[in-house]
Structure 1
Amino acid sequence: MTEKTHASLAIPARETEQGEHQLPPRQREWKRAKIAVVIVFVLLVVGTLRTVIANVMQNREVTATAQQNATQYVNIVTPTQTDGSGNTLLPGTLRGYVESPIYARATGYLLHWYADIGARVKQGQLLAELDTPEIDQELAQALAQRQQINSSLALAKSSLERWQQLRQRDAVSQQELDERQSTYTQDLANLAAADANVKRLQQLESFKRIVAPFTGVVTQRNVDVGDLIDAGSGTSRALFALAQSDPLRVYVQLPQAYAQNVTVGQKVVVTQAELPGQQFNGTITHMSGAIDVPTRSLQIEVTLPNPDDKLRPGAYVQVAVPAAAHARLTVPGNALLFRAEGPRLAVVDAKGVVSLHKVVIAQDLGQQLEIESGIDPTDRVIINPSDSIADGDHVKVQPQSQQKNGKGAS
């Protein structure tokens, strides 16, 4: 810029300052006040705009955060379709082929016992002996009474024979002969009653010897020497408990859905958790003729050989029975919703809209549920749904949460 230009700019500035100096002092103050007001007004406007913009941005941020917090994120799985073949594991209980508590038939004191728990006994083997003094005395009395009646009968018989001879000579009346005949007949009946009483007491006395009714193992011994034993099973306790461990019986409650898939003579496999890797082959030998109404199940009985005594009566086992004849869908157990209307599964569509499907559960397999109807193989089922989820809710599926084989993120 040239010196001439600087000179031209400096001249108006000097003129302005000279003009202000030429104004009266009051007008100069008024002009400065107006400039200050304008500056303050501009600052207020700028501050107001800044506050409004900050509020708008904060409201937008709060709204976005609320929307983000309100969004439900879910994990989904697709149902797995079974092939309709294979076996289904059901719980069962091992029982001895024959099991019996052994009670006393005679009252007395335990004199001695010969078999403890775990002992293997043969049929007819002596288990314990009782001391029965009352029965012994009753038997002695019955024998004496029978001897007394027998002597009376001999006298009545000889008297009858003499009176029969006298009647042939017409020395006695028919009435007297009939009386002797009646006395003899009565003594015969008394002797028969005495014999029956003696046999009863002899049989009762034989029960002093407690013997094993069948070959098996003693599972309980509830008495000891000197115990007072009461006859019968009403109020008294069992002396022993005996079980036949080979073969065993397995009782299984078969769901109604599988009742048509089993028949008598069918082979099954029995496993026990405490014996990993070992399988035991059994045969269905009996089936209940009706479905149990409270449980909607059919009781079946499996006969299981146990020659090496690896399995014990009373143990919990699993029995593999034939599965359903038609294919079903399975989903994880944590996908089920319990509502007042019945069990439901939450299914989400491609738009993220939830719909609750009413389902019929064919079987509860623990971690998996076998579904009879209510869902399709292509449905996306929500696992671990919240209790408040309802029809029409909008959810967002977690990325890569959809899995097969009925497994998903928990």
Structure 2
Amino acid sequence: MTPNGNGELDATYDDRLSKGGPPPRRSRRGAILGGLAVLVLVVAIGGGIRERIAAERRLARTTEESAVPTVNVAHPDVGAPSEDLVLPGGTQANTDTPIYARTNGYLKRWYFDIGAHVKQGDLLAEIDTPEVDEQLRQARADLETATANFKLADITAKRNEDLLKTRSIATQERDNAVGALAAAKATVASKQADVARLERMQSYEKVYAPFDGIITARNTDIGALIDAGAASAARELFHLSAIDKIRVFISVPETYSRAVHVGDKARVTLDEFPGEAFTGTLVRTANAIDPASRTLLTEIDVDNADGKLLPGAYAFVHLSMAKPAQSMTIPSNTLLFRKEGLRVALVRDGKAVLTPITIGRDYGEKVEVVSGLKATDEVILDPSDSLVSDTPVRTEGPTVAQTKQ
């Protein structure tokens, strides 16, 4: 029973219940509201479960996608870049010789100093040789004596020949006269040779330039004692170099020895001429490998009519190597060094495949591949050292452009 507005108990609710009638409207509304609350709660719980399941699925899918590495790939470049074999060398004069004295004496006068340009036959110096001059005078006097004796022996021989015809002398005397004539003739020839030798020695008092060139050294001065010859005790008077043509000698490694040929052109560069190259010609090789260095001695000649190049300079020779008929190049950062051998990682059907290759020449940022690749292969750049075959991978970015950078 409930109280009414007058404070009295309302028996309507109990009466309705006792008579089997429907519950009052307020009770039905509360039940509906309670059911709705339960329904909302169930829906909220179900939505949360579905959201959690969807999130877990997204997380699993993201995890799976993250587990597949993303790689950049590049196609091999067909053909090899033009390669220059750069080797150090030294420049030498086309003709280079020390000039020694051929006679003993004292330097009387010199006419050219270092850096002077001389022509063949120019007088470089004069040597005072008093001993040779004295010996020559004595030799000439001996020759005159021998000549007089020869003339006397000739007259005697002829006279004895005539006397023998008249039986005025014995045959022995005629023979003695003939023998004396022959001896006198030989003596004259000996004295003549001695005079000629000393005259040649005297001619060496004047030192001449043997060819056109430049005086690169003068190692004597007026009054210096001159020793003949090129023995260890002797000292060169001048050093003469012909630099109209410069020779550059290089040592070509044995592996490249078959790639150099006589007549090939070469570029020669020097540090003192930045940005400038001189054209030379390969003129000869030693045709033998040096067993100590395993290199081939090679000579390149460079025209130097203007005298710009100097002998003794350090130079670099650039030799163009022939391109292989069929070759490919790939970036150096695609190589994998494994205990089984050299490998590269290719992308095939969404998986990484380790493929053995054979490389040729090393160009620094790129290497030549002579076998193991095709032009259509996708080669992985910067592969992980732990990468194994059949690992799923995903490519990203341009492929061909990677090799052009």
What TM-score do the two structures reach when normalised by structure 1? 0.63
Aligned to 2:315: 317
Match of 1:288, SS? strand
User: Offset at 1:299?
Assistant: 1.4
Aligned to 1:389: none
Structure 2 matches for 1:380-399, cutoff 5 A?
Answer: none
User: Cα deviations across residues 329-356 of structure 1 (Å, max 9, x unaligned)?
Assistant: 8999xxxxxxxxxxxx999999xxxxxx
User: Cα deviations across residues 190-248 of structure 1 (Å, max 9, x unaligned)?
Assistant: 11111111111101111111111000001111111111010000121111110100011
Aligned to 1:182: 179
Unaligned runs of 5+ in 1: 1-78, 333-344, 351-358, 383-403
| Percentage of identical aligned residues | 36
Match of 2:266, SS? strand
Are 1:143 and 2:147 an aligned pair? no
- Higher Cα radius of gyration: 2
Give distance in 1, aligned partners of 2:366 and 2:148: 84
Q: Which has the higher strand share?
A: 2
Aligned to 1:158: 155
The list of structure 1 runs, each at least 4 consecutive aligned residues, that deviate by more than 3 angstroms after superposition, is: 79-82, 324-332, 345-350, 359-363, 367-373, 375-382
Match of 1:301, SS? strand
Match of 1:245, SS? strand
Aligned to 1:92: 89
User: Offset at 1:282?
Assistant: 1.2
Unaligned runs of 5+ in 2: 1-75, 333-340, 347-357, 384-401
Compared CA separation, residues 307 and 284, structure 1 to 2 (3 A): same
Give distance in 1, aligned partners of 2:282 and 2:122: 32
Aligned to 1:246: 244
What TM-score do the two structures reach when normalised by structure 2? 0.64
1:97–1:248 Cα contact (<8 Å) kept:
yes
User: Offset at 1:323?
Assistant: 2.2
Are 1:227 and 2:224 an aligned pair? yes
User: Offset at 1:85?
Assistant: 2.9
Candidates 256, 259, 282, aligned match of 1:258: 256
1:112–1:130 Cα contact (<8 Å) kept:
yes
Are 1:194 and 2:171 an aligned pair? no
User: Offset at 1:264?
Assistant: 1.4
1:218–1:242 Cα contact (<8 Å) kept:
yes
Aligned to 2:125: 128
Compared CA separation, residues 86 and 348, structure 1 to 2 (3 A): closer
Match of 1:246, SS? strand
Name which of structure 1's ranges 243-252 and 284-293 shifts more when overlaid on structure 2: 284-293
How many residues align? The count is 308
Name which of structure 1's ranges 87-96 and 135-144 shifts more when overlaid on structure 2: 87-96
Give distance in 2, aligned partners of 1:195 and 1:136: 16
C-alpha RMSD of matched pairs (Å): 4.4
Candidates 296, 310, 314, aligned match of 1:298: 296
Give distance in 2, aligned partners of 1:370 and 1:162: 101
Give distance in 2, aligned partners of 1:125 and 1:140: 28
Give distance in 1, aligned partners of 2:238 and 2:159: 60
